[in-house]
Amino acid sequence: MKSLTDVVSGAGLSGYAEIALVLFLLAFVGVVVSLFLPGRQRVYEHLRHLPIDDDGPTDGRVEDPSAEDTAHA
């Protein structure tokens, strides 16, 4: 009877590890490229200032702007 090590090593599964490595590398390069695209700089600049922005509520709730209009009526 063959051991599990013999069966797995003879199955030729080493190609799957190489394919997974290439897919991960492509995904990583895609994320890095998307971070440094010139058109995304404005978005990231806006997101960078959100924690210190005083325009929103401080308790973390998101207020409905239409609720303010009906509250004053």
Average confidence score pLDDT of the chain: 80
Alpha helices per DSSP H over the chain: 4-10, 14-35, 41-48, 65-71
Dihedrals phi, psi of 64, to nearest 5 degrees: -90, 120
Query: What residues does each domain of the chain span?
Result: 16-52
Does residue 67 surpass a pLDDT of 90?
no
Q: Give residue 9's pLDDT.
A: 81
> What value does the mean pLDDT take over residues 7-20?
86
Radius of gyration (Cα) for the chain, nearest Å? 26
Does residue 27 surpass a pLDDT of 60?
yes
